[in-house]
Structure 1
Amino acid sequence: MTSRRDFFKYAGIAGGAVAASAVSRVAMAALPEPVIQTSPNTMAPLVPNSGRAYNPVVTLNGWTLPWRMNQGVKEFHLVAEPVVREMAPGFKAHLWGYNGQSPGPTIEVVEGDRVRIFVTNKLPEHTSIHWHGQRLPNGMDGVAGLNQPAIPSGKTFVYEFVARRPGTFMYHPHADEMTQMAMGMMGFWVTHPKVKNDLIDEVQRDFCFLLNAYDIDPGSYTPKIMTMLDFNLWSWNSRIFPGIDSLNVRLNDKVRIRIGNLTMTNHPIHLHGHEFLVTGTDGGPTPKSTRWHEVTTDVAVGQMRQIEFLADEEGDWAFHCHKSHHTMNAMGHNVPTLIGVDHRGIAKKINNLIPDYMVMGERGMADMTEMEMPIPDNTAAMMTGQGPFGSVEMGGMFSVLKVRRNQKPGDYKDPGWYKHPEGTVAHEYTGPLTEPARFKAEGGQSMPRAQMPAKTTEVKVRKPSSHSNH
């Protein structure tokens, strides 16, 4: 990463007023140095050393873009470019992003700040940036062809406006959007309140991340941009579990999590062990009269949700999208359901032709995490990640909220696995068992069927056994 010391040494360079068009020679002479980040780890919050003070956010598996102050204006430099993103250990994707990563760095400002963002295009085609949710001059809204000419490859444009209202926002292209967003071009924007706001509480931990999705064939590196529905990699900040960092907080911290959705579908985000309030959207903070406690909130396409809760229950709590296919990796959509199918005879015959053939799916999909089957290079395993009690059997949009009483204020390091007090973990029961009650009869019908089949077909369930006879 380019050092922040080098970045801020340019703060004394003078710069003139510019518009959202090709940058003049005078402005180019004052162009801030771009800061590049390639590490996929969650970076520490960037505490402001100039401008108005604020409590910074932590971007999950990401970072905040440094700025310089130039005659009272906050200046940032974004570089749109091809990037290599490690989506999970051992699995990398060729994406498009900003400043070395996809998503790009989070931009943090304060309500009332005058902001100037230089955007250099190093993509093979033109681009633009739309500042999603912002109130700004029409010519700064970033829709190529409507509000501005597109930024040609190799050129630098500049956007300038005042951050007029506090809230949680995004940025993304509005030029060849289908391609560029499918390739990972997006980023987070947070505008902090200038003064105490009755609708915005102070918190001890403030996290943010974007929901995004890709269709990358096993063994390949580049997303298929024409996919509309059948994505196989559901990610937070272009990371998939077990590559998503945990959210590490102190017991009784007030926690805020900001979530933005730039996928092609909605995501019901679910937190275990706690109830939260939805305290903000991309429209701003929600009135307190509209808030109620939830454990799941749906984040629709193009929306932001800001949730807050008191982390008052110690432990390692799952935090994930509640669409079951969104917590898996590299999933095939045309695999037949084989639960209950007796493979024993055919498996022996296939083994004569293919010695390494293994039966899959007759007992469910969990066997795939246990078999450790060979997979193509640069492919994420479908369900993986080891917890303290074995395989977690999750992937995709899944992480862990770790709440610890001995976590120090401002310390975001992973505390390791939770040590459960004695007698508080579910365990095997070895005592006597009575026959469980089972449902024995169907209920009545509101309208009897006119024609009944001549013979009733009874489906018998074959309870799966082990793989010992395969």
Structure 2
Amino acid sequence: MSGHTYRAEPHVPSRGEERIMRVRLRGVAVGAAAVVLMLVAAGCSGDGVGGGTSGDAAVAAGTAAGATGATGAAGHTAGAHEGVSVQEMLDGHAAGVEAFPAETEAVGNQRLEPAIENGVKVFELVAKEVRWETEPGVFVDAMAFNGTVPGPELRVNPGDRVRIVVRNEMSQPTTMHLHGVTVPNGMDGVPYITQDPIMPGGFFTYEFEVVDPPGMYVYHSHFNSTEQVGRGMYGAFYIEPEGGDWGGVYDRRIDVEHTLFLGDGPTGYVLNGKGFPATDPIVAEVGDTVLIHLSNDGAQIHPMHLHGYHFEVVAEDGFVLEQPYMADTLMVAPGQRFDIVVQAEYPGVWAYHCHILPHVEGPEGMFGMVTALVVQ
């Protein structure tokens, strides 16, 4: 698995167990192909997953691709199906489901352990230009922290002293902004307002004390950010409760924790930097309580819809809601973050996707911002 799904203590799966789970999931996906195809058929009538565009023109295209048909960078077509036979449509849908979850060269959201220097947690991030595989055989020009999209997870605790050293190995300047995190003004990462840009070959040190409550926060580029963030320069900054127990924050046991970044633009429509069928499933057992951290670092609004379930929205932008609410579709605007909780009561493979249909499905099958909650 890609490292951004966590099962709460006492059991932490080893890398071998995670690998076995991926193989098992591939079998589950194949076995569930007919079920998901039924969901797809429902989507064609208005409640499933739809088609879309991706690539450098994605932001400009937005939802205007609609039913007129458009082709994205990965060759996905939305809307009209002229020239695609019924059998080709069926074969395309089935092939994507059977490949899920497809493996790619690298994955993001890997936890980065800090060095400890005189009691300070020290992280080092390197900004690089990379070729990033979004789905099998599809590579895009990306910009990334430590070579992955999203960048590595940084996890700290309230009261920690933190130092983040950002080195620039790209061909253009950059900075780093800690989105939603309370920091001294000089650490805010805005070029020519709070700091000079980090030039190619240079570095900048961000240092602060953690004063915000536990929650999901984000770090991202703040120089030429339309391109740099659009190409993948973002990652999770978690302020964890002591012991990493989110159950104390939300007053319930948490069995599974999952991070889900929404992205669009030059990388295409992606979840955690990948497009279906290379997206990572959220895996739980019947009876588990699943905590999903959502963040939209794209340039478009994405209404995220979970089939078969109602989830509870328990936090927004790092703050626990005094009045949580139930939903099955949650509108996530650029820059917004939500924590949602799902009670995994119903076994099966349940589609979870953006409900702007051109972001997720075309005549030849699902792509882009589609994953699944797999309840075993």
Same fold (TM over 0.5): yes
Is contact 1:139–1:147 with CA below 8 Å preserved after alignment? yes
Larger mean CA deviation between 127-136 and 65-74 belongs to 65-74
Separation (CA, whole Å) in 2 of partners of 1:106 and 1:188: 5
Asked if residue 294 in structure 1 is aligned to residue 327 in structure 2, the reply is: yes
Separation (CA, whole Å) in 2 of partners of 1:108 and 1:269: 25
1:43 is aligned to 2:3: yes
**Residue matched to 2:208:** 161
Cα shift readout 1:246-296 (whole Å, capped 9, x = no counterpart): 111111111000111111211111111221111111141111xx2121111
Asked if residue 281 in structure 1 is aligned to residue 332 in structure 2, the reply is no
Looking at structure 1, the residues matched to 305 and 226 of structure 2 have their Cα atoms a distance apart, in angstroms, of 28
Residue 78 of structure 1, CA deviation: 0.2
1:198 offset after TM fit, Å? Answer: 5.2
Distance 2:145 2:240 in 1: 22
What one-letter code is carried by the residue in structure 2 that aligns with 1:64?
R
Scaled by the length of structure 1, the TM-score of the pair is 0.56
Question: What is the alpha-carbon distance in structure 2 between the residues aligned to residue 207 and residue 61 of structure 1?
Answer: 13
Matched-pair contact (CA < 8 Å) for 1:79–1:122 = yes
Aligned-residue offset at 1:182: 2.3
Q: Is the 8 A contact 2:108 2:152 kept in 1?
A: no
Match of 2:260?
Answer: 209
Correspondence for 1:185 among 226, 233, 249: 233
User: Equivalent residue of 1:399, what SS?
Assistant: strand
Contact kept in structure 2, 1:200 and 1:285, CA below 8 Å: no
Native 8 Å contact 1:132 1:171 kept in 2: yes
Please give the residue correspondences for 1:329-348 in structure 2 after superposition, counting only pairs within 5 Å.
none
Structure 2 CA distance for partners of 1:242 and 1:251, relative to 1, 3 Å: same
Q: Which residue of 2 aligns with 1:96?
A: 143
Q: Is the 8 A contact 1:46 1:64 kept in 2?
A: no
Return closer, same or farther for 1:44/1:236 CA change in 2, 3 Å cut-off.
closer
**What is aligned with 1:320?**
353
Code of the residue aligned with 1:163 in structure 2: it is: V
Change over 3 Å in CA distance of 1:46–1:73 after alignment to 2: farther
The one-letter code matched in structure 1 to 2:330 is T
Return the match for 1:396 from 359, 365, 368: 368
Partner of 1:305: helix, strand, or coil?
strand
Residue ranges of structure 2 left out of the alignment (5+ in a row):
19-106
Q: Say whether the 8 Å CA contact 1:281–1:304 is kept in structure 2.
A: yes
Distance 1:44 1:300 in 2: 22
**Residue 142 of structure 1 aligns to a residue in which SS?**
coil
In the other structure, the counterpart of 2:98 is: none
Q: Provide the secondary structure at the position in 2 that maps to 1:146.
A: coil
1:199: Cα distance to partner? 4.2
Give the distance between the partners of 1:113 and 1:206, measured in 2 at CA: 22
Q: How many angstroms apart in 2 are the aligned matches of 1:234 and 1:297?
A: 17
Alpha-carbon shift at residue 61 of structure 1 (Å): 5.2
Note closer, same or farther for the CA distance 1:271–1:285 as it changes in structure 2 (3 Å cut): same
Query: Is it true that 1:87 corresponds to 2:134 in the alignment?
Result: yes
Distance in 2 (CA, whole Å) between partners of 1:191 and 1:255 is: 18
The counterpart of 2:179, out of the listed 132, 135, 145, is 132
Distance change in 2, residues 1:265/1:146 (3 Å)? same
Give, in whole Å, the separation in 1 of the partners of 2:237 and 2:191.
20
- SS of structure 2 residue aligned to 1:286: strand
- Partner Cα separation in structure 1 for residue 356 and residue 5 of structure 2: 31
Q: Equivalents in 2 of 1:205, 1:87: separation in Å?
A: 25
CA distance in 2, matches of 1:88, 1:119: 28
| 1:270 maps to 2:305 | yes
Aligned equivalents of 1:192, 1:72: Cα separation in 2: 17
- C-alpha RMSD of the superposition: 2.5
Aligned pair 1:241/2:276, yes or no?
A: yes
Please name the residue that 1:107 is paired with. 154
Alpha-carbon separation, structure 1, partners of 2:271 and 2:2: 12
- Cα distance in 1, alignment partners of residues 148 and 114 from structure 2: 17
Contact map agreement 2:300 2:333 (CA 8 A) in 1? yes
Alpha carbons 1:267, 1:300 under 8 Å: kept: yes
Q: Is the 1:76–1:118 Cα contact (8 Å) retained in structure 2?
A: yes
Contact 1:45 1:63 in 2 (8 A): no
Provide Cα deviations, 1:366-424, integer angstroms capped at 9, x if missing partner. Answer: 3xx3xxxxxxxxxxxxxxxxxxxxxxx211100111111xxxxxxxxxxxxxxxxxxxx
More strand by share: 2
- Residues 271, 296 of structure 1: 8 Å contact kept: yes
Any conservation in 2 of the 1:81–1:121 contact (CA below 8 Å)?
A: yes
Q: Distance in 2 between matches of 1:86 and 1:285?
A: 35
CA contact (8 A) 2:108 2:151 kept: no
Partner residue of 1:77 out of 124, 127, 133:
124
The whole-number CA distance in structure 2 between the counterparts of 1:268 and 1:401 is: 16
CA distance in 2, matches of 1:142, 1:111: 21
| CA apart distance, 1:301 | 1.3
Query: Residues 127 and 176 of structure 1 are in contact (CA less than 8 Å); yes or no, is this contact kept in structure 2?
Result: yes
- Give the secondary structure class of the aligned counterpart of 1:178: helix
Query: Structure 1 stretch 117-126 or stretch 174-183: which is displaced more?
Result: 174-183
Matched positions, count: 278
Shift of 1:45: 6.5
Residue ranges of structure 1 left out of the alignment (5+ in a row)? 1-40, 48-52, 216-222, 224-232, 329-364, 370-392, 405-470
Shift of 1:43: 2.3
